[in-house]
Structure 1
Amino acid sequence: MEDISAVEIIAPNFKRRLSGVTSTIIQLVPIQRALGQKVATLGPGLPADLPHIGYSALLRLWGRPKNRALRVWHARRNVEMLPAIVLRDILRMKLKIVFTSASQRKHSGWSKFLIRRMDAVIATSNRTAAYLEVPSTTIMHGIDTQRFFPGKDKAAVKAVLGLPADKKIAGCFGRVRHQKGTDLFVDSMIGLLPQRPDWIAIVAGRATPTHVSFENELKEKVKRAGLADRILFVGEHTNIPDWYRALDLFIAPQRWEGFGLTPLEAMATKVPVVAADVGAFPELLVTGAEETGILIPANALTEMLEAAAVFMDNPERARLAGERGLARATATFSIQGEASSIGAIYEALLTDTVCG
């Protein structure tokens, strides 16, 4: 438990179930702390080793932290904005409130009401910023390039994971569900693999109880196509960077996405990417002469088949796209860069002593 007097930034997480927002907090806070940002979390659903404060510490927010006139509360959901507004505007605690938005849809009236009362707003992509009706700063998510990096021997990585070292592998990683387009990936592989005996495909990720029947239907479809030994459902793994290092092609088939880190994780592992035009994907990938991947319309099976075939059948183009993707991911999308940019927002608010 952190001493609240030493905490300058509070990162609340008011949702028990693991989500993309929760994952962002889990990954960012240790990096922020390493950069000297005095951040602590608040709420359930987070690892015990993250620095945190208890709800009782909120009673001490009338007092100032050491060497600062106020604190920053960094909300990422409506349920986290509202209590901060109450603490700041009704209880008159010394707080500034930051909100990060990843939404790519029109905000409800309630959300707009809350967002208008923020001291600073961060958008996770330019597409997200276009839906905001207040000034914002775009800070895109980054990835930990100390975890996601290319392997020196792809065949050896495959062998360690129990995958055939002599086969090329196309992968789709993430929750197994309709929204994530897992069925589109499976259907594309059913269409492509019979003509390409040197390729197999893997689906890595968990189907939550609501989506188990969806996953079972996909497995049955694969079985009927006679490809059960070539389209593999490998489940959820904690060593996911190793699975990226085994890939020769990554496909992000989502029908909808708020941001989406998987293309970046693949790029950082020097894997060419085919991605649907959703979330931040068009801002992550480079297409054209310096391509890192191919962007296709959302929910477009034919285009997915064609784009995947381009990389499957042209190893040199795939190699170049992978190399460019690695360079782009490490230069532009490190999580350290994300944390530093957020830290600049914090510092501007911490040195502005006017509250409310």
Structure 2
Amino acid sequence: MPGVRRRPSVLHLSQPVEGGVATVVTDLVAAQRRAGLEVHLGCPPGPLGESARAAGARVHDWPAGRGPGPGLFTEVCRIAGLLDRLRPDLLHLHSAEAGLAGRLAARGRVPTVFQPHAWSFEAVTGTARALALKWERRAARWTGRLLCVSEAERRRGEDAGVLGDWTVVPNGIDLGRYPLDLTTATDSRRTARAALPECAALPPEAPLVVCVGRLSEQKGQDVLLRSWPTVTARHPHALLVLVGDGPAAGTLRAAAPAGVVFAGAVRTVRTWYQAADLVVLPSRWEGMALAPLEAMACGRPVLLTDVAGARECLPNGHAARQLVPADDPFTLGRALGELLAEPRRLVAAGIEARAHVTTNHDVRRSAAEVGDLYRELLRRPHQDRRERLAR
């Protein structure tokens, strides 16, 4: 009808359908539907599509593999078909595979946001790294905005020669999933442990360390396992639980020392966070991991490796004790042992962590900032985009 303005539409593309990237996409899709946008999502079958559909998005099947391969041409063609059929106002690409296939399909014809969720060139070495760098530098000309989840992620891109327009929006989490009464934090820890069969034989005051993440090279659980004997030398009854599944599961299980339990993939990790004295994430690279934010929302302190986003997600003054170098099992084990030796201090750190996440990492704030970015891109004249393509 004349005079009726169509709602802006956005097409999200994501190859990951589980884990942190999928959670970010799910929360963003839900917020955009509440804001009245027409939201589409292309992704492989899995939990992401189910949750996005429940939030009101139109979900389109986009079978995509992890990393470039013989299926890339088909992936690009499917995206081109979606763009022709849906004609979205914006294209929002999440992580490396969507960033590759989506920009090849669109080539700047649609205002495009690329959100790396950790740079692809950090995950590889040698020739693969050189090719990934070359691609990211070239693809920036087809990108209306490079959206990073931390200042450190942005700096790594710039230092690698990726030139473009940048916006940083720190990751946020849905605090409604992590209700917490800090006056009963100790009771929630006891109740959570009682609900977990893996903790049945754990003495009430024995330290429990939890690591949540995909079992993979990126998340560094192999380094954590190598560090664990240093911890149990000081805390003989301590238990480490790895929550998650992934390609490294078999190798990690074979290498696990005493005092380690594998919980596998779970539908909700909140109970594990609540049961823990300390949550650890020994990643080799990140953009800004969600697991530490979720743990802090549950009032639990974290120990992280000094990768992109880690310093920025910690409360002020916590980095000195709660940040260690990546790929350093001895330093990681020593830091874990020292933190577990001060249970009262851990409780205080958890209270500060909850306040920090509530103030700085509410997903509503993150979604609002992405909405501002969309409006800015939609106001940009078409001439501006043609000049970008001519670079």
Normalised-by-shorter TM-score class: 0.7 to 0.9
Confirm or deny that 1:160 pairs with 2:195: yes
Give, in angstroms, the shift of residue 165 of structure 1: 6.5
Give, in angstroms, the shift of residue 237 of structure 1: 0.6
Kindly tell me: are residues 318 and 177 of structure 1, through their superposed partners in 2, closer, same or farther at Cα, counting changes over 3 Å? same
Confirm or deny that 1:125 pairs with 2:150: yes
Confirm or deny that 1:182 pairs with 2:221: yes
Would the aligned equivalents of 2:223 and 2:329 in 1 still touch at CA under 8 Å? yes
1:259 & 1:252 partners in 2: Cα distance? 11
Give, in angstroms, the shift of residue 189 of structure 1: 2.5
Give, in angstroms, the shift of residue 97 of structure 1: 1.6
Corresponding residue for 1:299? Answer: 327
1:99 & 1:178 partners in 2: Cα distance? 24
Kindly tell me: are residues 10 and 168 of structure 1, through their superposed partners in 2, closer, same or farther at Cα, counting changes over 3 Å? same
Confirm or deny that 1:254 pairs with 2:302: no
Within the candidate set 314, 325, 338, 2:353 is matched to: 325
2:350 & 2:375 partners in 1: Cα distance? 37
Amino acid of the structure 1 residue aligned with 2:11: I
Kindly tell me: are residues 155 and 72 of structure 1, through their superposed partners in 2, closer, same or farther at Cα, counting changes over 3 Å? same
Corresponding residue for 1:170? Answer: 209
Would the aligned equivalents of 2:288 and 2:310 in 1 still touch at CA under 8 Å? yes
Confirm or deny that 1:42 pairs with 2:42: yes
| C-alpha RMSD over aligned residues | 2.7
Corresponding residue for 2:91? Answer: 73
Could you state the TM-score of these two structures normalised by the residue count of structure 1?
0.82
Corresponding residue for 2:71? Answer: none
Give, in angstroms, the shift of residue 303 of structure 1: 1.4
1:116-138 deviation line (CA, Å, top 9, x unaligned): 22222212211221223223011
Kindly tell me: are residues 212 and 198 of structure 1, through their superposed partners in 2, closer, same or farther at Cα, counting changes over 3 Å? closer
Amino acid of the structure 2 residue aligned with 1:325: A
Within the candidate set 144, 165, 172, 1:142 is matched to: 172
Secondary structure of residue in 2 paired with 1:175: coil
Corresponding residue for 1:82? Answer: 104
Confirm or deny that 1:12 pairs with 2:13: yes
| Structure 2 counterparts to residues 97-136 of structure 1, below 5 A | 97-104=112-119, 105=121, 108-130=133-155, 131-132=157-158, 133-136=163-166
Would the aligned equivalents of 2:209 and 2:239 in 1 still touch at CA under 8 Å? yes
1:4-28 deviation line (CA, Å, top 9, x unaligned): x655111123x37646544432332
Confirm or deny that 1:244 pairs with 2:273: yes
| Residues paired across the two proteins, number | 326
Which structure dedicates a bigger proportion of its chain to helix? 2
Would the aligned equivalents of 1:312 and 1:318 in 2 still touch at CA under 8 Å? yes
Kindly tell me: are residues 297 and 287 of structure 1, through their superposed partners in 2, closer, same or farther at Cα, counting changes over 3 Å? farther
1:288-339 deviation line (CA, Å, top 9, x unaligned): 3x56961111111221122112221112221221111111111111221111
Kindly tell me: are residues 218 and 115 of structure 1, through their superposed partners in 2, closer, same or farther at Cα, counting changes over 3 Å? same
Could you state the TM-score of these two structures normalised by the residue count of structure 2?
0.75
Secondary structure of residue in 2 paired with 1:47: helix
Structure 1: runs of 5 or more not aligned:
63-69, 89-94
Would the aligned equivalents of 2:7 and 2:36 in 1 still touch at CA under 8 Å? no
Amino acid of the structure 2 residue aligned with 1:171: V
2:178 & 2:31 partners in 1: Cα distance? 15
| Structure 2 counterparts to residues 48-67 of structure 1, below 5 A | 48=50, 49-50=52-53, 51-52=57-58, 54=60, 58-60=83-85
Percent identical: 25
1:100 & 1:207 partners in 2: Cα distance? 23
